[in-house]
Amino acid sequence: MSDAPKPRRLTPKGRATRDRIVEAATALIAQRGVAGVGVEDVRAAAGVSGSQLYHYFDSKQALIRAVITRQADSVLHPDEPRIAVLDSFDALRAWADAAIERQQENDGRGGCDLGSLAGELSASDEESRGDLADGFMRWKDLILNGLAAMRDRGELRPEADLDELAFALLAAFQGGKVLAQTVRDVQPMVAAMNATLAHIRSFAT
């Protein structure tokens, strides 16, 4: 895996400017895909000068990696209520329902998640692929930790392959989402989450 780009030590004002740039890039990429967004578009949308932007990001590549890190953190940050604790069947169901609801609010759109970025970048951009892989593995481990807590409390049978279940749930989420975005209907996402959660529940004690 590659090292994620490390933000320099920033003043609060510098941090706010950097955040504004990454936020603008994220919104534009959600609309147009990575390929459809130029550094100049991001600069204009963020309302910063070229030299300001260049101070924080010396290339489009650096900007894309910051967007990936932001999107990975947005589901993984411990303060994030959606996914902070996935250590019960109810919590897993609530997480799935929240994700489905967000997808529905977006009218089936929403193309700046890790899965869409992976579809666009994994084949062509090795550094971004490494960052995306890190994001997915952190996300998988978060699901895995929840399942392990359930097993340790005796709610899942010891023979359950938790690594397999965690990957399966993440894959169902990603695959359901890309189908929902493409057919503009949440039904595939609902189906994928229902099936995988039912499978996990089949290991309940």
Alpha helix ranges (H) inside 33-88? 39-46, 50-56, 60-76
**From the list 33, 54, 62, 155, which residue makes contact with a second copy (rule: CB under 8 A)?**
33
Question: Residue 137: which residues within 8 A CB-CB, separation 6 or more?
Answer: 1
* Residue placing its CB nearer to a second copy in the complex, 55 or 197: 197
* Residue placing its CB nearer to a second copy in the complex, 48 or 121: 121
Q: How far apart are the C-alpha atoms of 109 and 27, rounded to whole Å? A: 12
User: Which one of 13-21, 47-55, 77-85, 127-135 is the stretch in contact with a second copy (CB under 8 A)?
Assistant: 127-135
Tokens encoding 15:
């941090």
**From the list 40, 195, 204, 205, which residue makes contact with a second copy (rule: CB under 8 A)?**
195
Which positions from 85 through 114 interact with a second copy, judged by CB under 8 A? 109-112
**From the list 44, 184, 204, 205, which residue makes contact with a second copy (rule: CB under 8 A)?**
184
Query: Which is nearest to 95 in space by CA: 82, 104, 77, 84?
Result: 82
* Residue placing its CB nearer to a second copy in the complex, 14 or 110: 110
**From the list 63, 67, 150, 172, which residue makes contact with a second copy (rule: CB under 8 A)?**
172
Please report where in the chains the tokens 């998640």 appear, as a residue.
113
Asked if residue 133 binds a second copy (CB under 8 A), the reply is yes
Q: What is the enclosing helix (H) or strand (E) of 99?
A: helix 89-105
Q: How far apart are the C-alpha atoms of 63 and 189, rounded to whole Å? A: 30
Query: Which is nearest to 68 in space by CA: 17, 128, 110?
Result: 128
Q: How far apart are the C-alpha atoms of 131 and 114, rounded to whole Å? A: 10
**From the list 35, 44, 98, 204, which residue makes contact with a second copy (rule: CB under 8 A)?**
35
User: Which one of 39-47, 72-80, 92-100, 195-203 is the stretch in contact with a second copy (CB under 8 A)?
Assistant: 195-203
**From the list 90, 194, 204, 205, which residue makes contact with a second copy (rule: CB under 8 A)?**
194
* Residue placing its CB nearer to a second copy in the complex, 129 or 151: 129
Indicate the angle between helix axes 187-201 and 89-105, nearest 10 degrees.
170
**From the list 122, 127, 145, 148, which residue makes contact with a second copy (rule: CB under 8 A)?**
122
End-to-end CA distance of the chain: 37
Q: Which residues of this protein are in contact with a second copy, per CB under 8 A?
A: 30-36, 109-112, 115-125, 129, 132-133, 136-137, 140, 163-179, 181-184, 187-192, 194-196, 198-199, 202
